[in-house]
Amino acid sequence: MDWTAPVFAGLALFLAGPAPALLSRANWPYRSPRAALVLWQAIALAAVLSAFGSGLAIASRLLVPGSDGRPTTTPSKEIAALGLPAWLLLVTVFALTLLVGGRLIWSVIRVGIHTRRRRARHRMLVDLLDQSAVQRKSADIRVLAAAEPIAYCLPGLRQRVVLSQGTVTSLSDAELTAIVSHERSHLRARHDLVLEAFTAAHEAFPRVVRSKSALDSVKLLIELLADDSAVKVTGPTPLARALVACSNSPAPQGAMAAGGPTTLIRIQRLAGPIGDLRIAVVAYLAAAAILVVPTMAVAIPWLVEVTRLVRRT
C-alpha cells in the first residue's frame, strides 16, 4: 500500500493545527524572535506543501498517468481495485486539497486587495488631518490632533508613521525617537507582508483544523523584532517608557500599532537579556528540516513531469 498520500495529509493537518498550538506555548521565541519567525514561516509553508503533496500523490494513485501524462485508468477500474470506501476517502482528501489550494489563492487576493484599499483610504485621511506641516522633520511622519498617545504605521509604497499630539507632547525626545524607530522598523522590514501571508494561510485551511496560534504568535514576534531595532537606537528604557505611554494606542485595520494586548510581555522582555545564539541555530536547523521533505515531495514530481514533457518535444 502506498502511504505517501495519508502521510502527507496527516503532516499537513499536524502542521496546520497541533504544531502551532505547541510552539505558541514556548517561551524561547521571546529571546530569538527572528529565528522563531523563520520557524513559523517554515511550518506554514510546509503545511501548504504537504497538502499539495498529498493531493499530487492521490491524483497519481487515482489517475495513474502514463508516459505522456494522460490517465491510464478509469474511476470504475480504480473502485474495483481499491474498493469503494478507500476510493471515496481518496477522492474526499483530494477534494479537500483542491479546496485548500483554491482558498489560499482567494485569500491571498482578497486580503491583499482589502488591506491596500483600507490603507489607501486611511492614508488619505491622515494626510488631510495632518497637524505637523510647520514642525515636521520627516516626510513620512503625520501628527493627528488627539490628546491620547497614539503611534502606528501604514505600510506600502507611500509609508506613513502616524503619531498624535498627545504622543509628541507627553514623550521625551528619546522616547519619541524610540517609538518612531519601532514603527520605521516595521516599514523597512515589510512586516505587513509577513502578516498578510499568515492571514491568508490561516484562512485557507478549514476552520476545524487550523489554529489561530500561528497568526497571534507572528504578530507578537514582529513586534519583538521592531522593539529590538528600536533598542539599538535608544536603549531599552526609553522604548519601555514609550510603550507604556502608548499601550492603549488604537490603530485602523491594515496598520501596525506600537501598543496592544502584548505590550506587557514586550516591556517585561526588555528588562532581560535579548538574543540566544544556540536557540537561534536550533530553530534555523529545525526550519530547514521541516521544509526539506514536503518541498522535495512536491518539487520532484513536477520536475519529473517537466523533464518528461521536454524529452517528448
- pLDDT tens for 113-137 read 999 999 999 999 999 999 876 555 6
pTM: 0.84
Q: What angle do CA 237, 241, 243 make, to 5 degrees?
A: 115
Task: Show the cell assigned to 260.
Answer: 496592544
Cβ atoms 227, 234 nearer than 8 A:
no
Confidence of residue 226 (pLDDT cuts 50, 70, 90): very high
C-alpha to C-alpha distance for 27 and 44, rounded to whole angstroms: 20
In the 8-state DSSP scheme, what is residue 65?
Answer: B
* Nearest residue to 45 (alpha-carbon basis) of 25, 19, 16: 16
Look at residue 160 and give its three-state secondary structure.
Answer: strand
C-alpha to C-alpha distance for 133 and 123, rounded to whole angstroms: 16
- pLDDT tens for 50-93 read 888 788 778 777 776 666 556 677 778 878 877 888 888 888 88
- Higher-pLDDT residue of 240 and 209 is 240
Look at residue 135 and give its three-state secondary structure.
Answer: coil
Cβ atoms 197, 234 nearer than 8 A:
no
- pLDDT tens for 268-308 read 999 877 778 899 999 999 999 888 877 776 666 656 655 66
C-alpha to C-alpha distance for 277 and 284, rounded to whole angstroms: 11
In the 8-state DSSP scheme, what is residue 192?
Answer: H
Task: Identify the H or E element spanning 68.
Answer: none
